[in-house]
Amino acid sequence: MLSVRNLEVVYHDVALVLRGVSLTVPRHRVVALLGANGAGKTTLLRAVSGLLDVHDGRVTKGGVELGGRPIHGLGPERVVRRGVRQVMEGRRIFAELTVEENLRIGAHTAPRALGDNLARVYGLFPRLKALASRTAGYLSGGEQQMLAVGRALMSDPELLLLDEPSLGLAPRLVQQIKEIIAQINDQGTTILLVEQNASMALSVADHGYVLESGRIVMDRPAAELLEDDDIREFYLGLGAEGAARSFRDVKHYKRRKRWLS
Ligand SMILES: Nc1ncnc2c1ncn2[C@@H]1O[C@H](COP(=O)(O)OP(=O)(O)O)[C@@H](O)[C@H]1O
Ligand SMILES: [Mg+2]
């Protein structure tokens, strides 16, 4: 469904951030894109959803195709109309509006199906239904993340792009988000999931890619990546000796580029 081919992205005409990235997301699958801070994950999502312009970024090589048709160069609104919706990092919601107003705004490209989509979102997130008339700014972090995902679903996208949905959430909520992702996918939505939480992402994904300094350094079925020693050590915080380490330690770990050699 989504095909990113040899994509190169430059910011401000100088900073080369993606250096020839290729990646595919087959229809009805969940694909995980892993990588440390600054690897270029968000940039890749921006290139798909048409948001590079806003950040003074440009595709200088390669491209993005959806169902065999190029979409890079289209504005964000047209990409949404082609069935792609991004949930941005950091749960961007309208804090002064109610939960339901936030959801209705999400439906602006699909106003006729508003009732059906609202029912779907409330089915997935009963909590949001209970909070429908609450001002969104007063919701907890987990509830706001659910609202951000719910709002994206209001345009009934074929492809949902999630940018670090588990960021900053307690383990119990991370588990909930994971279950919701699986459910959304079961309902027929294709998902590209960007995460630093590799164990969560790989346990829900079919396939995984690892991005490092703007290059894909690994591309394998999710189950295999979960078993891979390098992935376990650097992204799951489990060293060969099995000792648990926090991702924070791992993130600062200056390692040899074994994957590239
Ligand atoms: N608008 C921008 N202008 C210049 N550089 C940027 C911009 N956005 C991101 N970058 C740089 O691009 C690199 C990749 O960033 P990003 O795609 O946000 O990575 P990730 O999402 O994997 O953390 C980083 O070095 C970051 O500083
Ligand atoms: Mg990011």
Could you read off the pLDDT of 48-76 as tens digits, one per residue?
999 999 999 999 999 999 999 999 889 99
pLDDT-derived band at 108 (thresholds 50, 70, 90) equals: confident
Which ligand is in closest contact with the Cα of 164? 2
Instruction: Give yes or no for a contact between 172 and 139, defined as CB atoms under 8 angstroms apart.
Output: no
Indicate if the pLDDT at residue 235 is higher than 90.
no
Q: Quick one: which of 205, 140, 195 has its CA closest to 173?
A: 140
Both tokens of residue 25? 């997301």
For residue 136, give Cα distances in angstroms to 70, 93, 96, 144, 198: 36, 7, 6, 7, 29
pLDDT-derived band at 251 (thresholds 50, 70, 90) equals: very low
Name, in order, each residue with C-beta under 8 angstroms of 27's C-beta and a sequence gap of 6 or more.
1, 158, 190
pLDDT, position 73: 85
CA 68 to chain centroid, in Å, comes to: 21
Both tokens of residue 52? 């590079």
132-164: per-residue pLDDT in tens? Answer: 999 999 999 999 999 999 999 999 999 999 999
Which ligand is in closest contact with the Cα of 37? 1
Both tokens of residue 133? 């008339």
| Residue 14 CB–ligand 1 contact under 6 Å | no
pLDDT-derived band at 240 (thresholds 50, 70, 90) equals: very low
pLDDT, position 238: 53
Phi, psi angle pair for 191, to nearest 5°: -135, 130
| Residue 259 CB–ligand 1 contact under 6 Å | no
Share of residues in the chain with pLDDT > 90 (%): 78
Give dist(CA 8, CA 21) in Å, integer: 7
